Amino acid sequence: MIEISHVNKWYGPTFQVLKDCTTSVAKGEVVVVCGPSGSGKSTLIKCVNALEPFQEGQIILDGIKVNDPKTDLPKLRARVGMVFQHFELFPHLRIIDNLCLAQEKVLGRSHEEAVAKGNKLLERVGLTVHANKYPAELSGGQQQRVAIARALAMDPIAMLFDEPTSALDPEMISEVLDVMVDLAHEGMTMMVVTHEMGFASKVAHRVIFMDKGEIVEDAQKTDFFGSPRSERAQKFLSKILSH
Amino acid sequence: MFDNLDFDVIRRSLPYLFLDGMSFTLMLTGLSALGGLIFGTLIALMRLSGYKLLGRIAGLYVDFMRSLPLVLVIFWFYFLVPYIGQWLTGASRPIRVGAFTSSLVTFIMFEAAYFSEIMRAGIQSISKGQPAAASALGLTYSQSMRYVVLPQAFRNMLPVLLTQTIVLFQDTSLVYVLSIPDFLGAASKVAQRDGRLVEMYLFAAAVYFVISCVASYGVRRLQARIAIVR
């Protein structure tokens, strides 16, 4: 489904953020990407739907080459859902309109169709009563659940999560993770940048560990948590699991 | 001191002052603000487009307009527009352009320079995550601008845009150089016809003052309301 091969990316002429990254995500697979901040994990996931350009290598998404100048990027992005650290709901639109905008403008669905789909997804994330509110009236956890619903409204073939819980207060993290766990159990293809190792050990199939722009470790979940091979991954794990 | 003043001249000329003069002033203000906002938004988008040449052209335009006195631009435009029109249409003689059209074009082009800077600040005030989220949903650049970025930029900048429009409302009085009967022009015509300069100019000042003050107060209230919503 997602094939990342030998991706190199530089900011400016000298600073290399991604170094020869190669990995893949199969259909229905849940892959967690972790690593210290500044390791390039968010950048890598943003390369997958071409929100970030890269200079070398290639990424193939469901058979389509992302970094081909001929690729219709908006069309490609419409097929992959993305959830951001800071939710990025559109503050000037009601919740239901946040869910409908792209359905209507990108997929060409009628307003009635879009609203019906939107309401169904709001029910799924347990926020039906908030349909007519504005994003600022919702808590962070609720906003992030709306953001997930908004991405799902496009019937994506895969979902990308960029630190979906890092901006949340601790008591709101689980309500968002619950939605993500359900998604994973339904067989959604997911690539998740997160530090939530509980989530990783519960639903991930594979864990990728990145450091300084490199994929240091790319292992089955049990291998990763059991006995990470690299010293850097061991150190990272001992730090975040010690509390 | 006021013994030999005749304020009745104001009452007698009210219909002319407001039905002709003020309606012209308000129409010129409204249309110029609307046109200036649309044109100014386009200039702002050019400056932020990332295409160096487009940005440079837009920047030069803004600097040029802001470096000239408005009265001179109005004056020049009135004489130039017929020849530009002739050149564009390939007509054999300068096309005839009314004073209203000429002044409207002038104000739109002049205000566009100011509105573009306001809209540019407004667009830049929107966090990068918003267009990124719009792109991630599959919206094209123009859709993302139209449905996500510009509505927010416009809302954030509404108080500033309206304040600029109040300034524009006062600036429209400069069309007197083209002898157009806007509100001030109408007042000045009556003043000179009846020899009542002091009365008419006092009255004109009072009207501009009251309208601008009330409008400014309205903008401040709006600003407070927007701050709460955000």
Task: For residue A98, name the pLDDT band (cuts at 50, 70, 90).
Answer: very high
Measure A80 CA to nearest chain B CA, in Å.
Answer: 8
pLDDT for residue A160 is more than 70: yes
For residue A127, pLDDT beyond 90:
yes
Residue A51 forms contact with B (CB below 8 Å): yes
Q: Verify whether the Cβ–Cβ distance A88 to B129 is below 8 Å.
A: yes
Residue of B123, B125, B128, B137 to mutate, interface with A, max A Cβ within 10 Å? B137
Walking along chain B (230 residues) 10 residues at a time, the average pLDDT comes out as 76 89 94 96 94 94 94 87 84 82 91 96 95 96 96 93 96 89 92 90 95 95 76
What is the mean predicted confidence (pLDDT) over A211-219? 93
Any CB–CB contact under 8 A between B146 and chain A? no
Nearest to A106 among B127, B129, B137 (CB): B137
pTM for the model stands at 0.88
pLDDT at A32: 96
Q: For the residues A178-190, what does the mean pLDDT come to?
A: 95
Identify the weakest region by mean pLDDT among A120-129, A216-225, B127-136: A216-225
Query: Mean pLDDT over residues A130-153, rounded?
Result: 96
CA atoms within 13 A on the CB side of B208: 21
Report the chain A residue with the minimal C-alpha distance to residue B154: A92
Model confidence band, residue A226 (pLDDT cutoffs 50, 70, 90): confident
Q: What is the pLDDT of residue B134?
A: 97
SS3 labels along chain B? CCCCCCCHHHHHHHHHHHHHHHHHHHHHHHHHHHHHHHHHHHHHHHHCCCCHHHHHHHHHHHHHHHCCCHHHHHHHHHHHHHHHHHHHHCCCCCCCCCHHHHHHHHHHHHHHHHHHHHHHHHHHCCCCHHHHHHHHCCCCHHHHHHHHHHHHHHHHHHHHHHHHHHHHHHHHHHHHHHCCCCHHHHHHHHHHHHCCHHHHHHHHHHHHHHHHHHHHHHHHHHHHHHHHHC
Looking up tokens 């990407």 gives A33
| pLDDT number for residue A131 | 96
List CB contacts (< 8 A) between B127 and chain A: 86
| B23-to-A39, B34, B108 alpha-carbon distances in Å | 64, 16, 18
A34 contacts A51 by C-beta, under 8 angstroms: no
Whether A74 sits inside 8 A of B130 (CB atoms) is no
Q: Cβ–Cβ of B132/A88 closer than 8 Å?
A: yes
Q: Is A64 on the interface with B (CB under 8 A)?
A: no
CA proximity to A230, closest of A206, A211, A213? A211
The structure tokens 């566009």 sit at B112
Is residue B151 within 8 angstroms of chain A, CB to CB?
A: yes
Q: Do A51 and B136 touch (CB under 8 A)?
A: yes
pLDDT attached to residue B88: 86
- pLDDT tens digits along A28-79: 999 999 999 889 999 999 999 999 999 999 999 999 999 999 999 999 999 9
Closest residue of B to A102, CA-based?
B137
Query: Cα separation of B180 and A220, whole Å?
Result: 81
Inspect the interface and report whether the beta carbons of A75 and B138 lie closer than 8 Å. Answer: yes
Structural domains of chain B ordered from first start: 8-229 (1.10.3720.10)
Report the C-alpha gap between B191 and B184 in whole angstroms. 10
- Of the candidates B167, B186, B168, B190, the residue with the CA atom closest to the CA atom of residue B176: B186
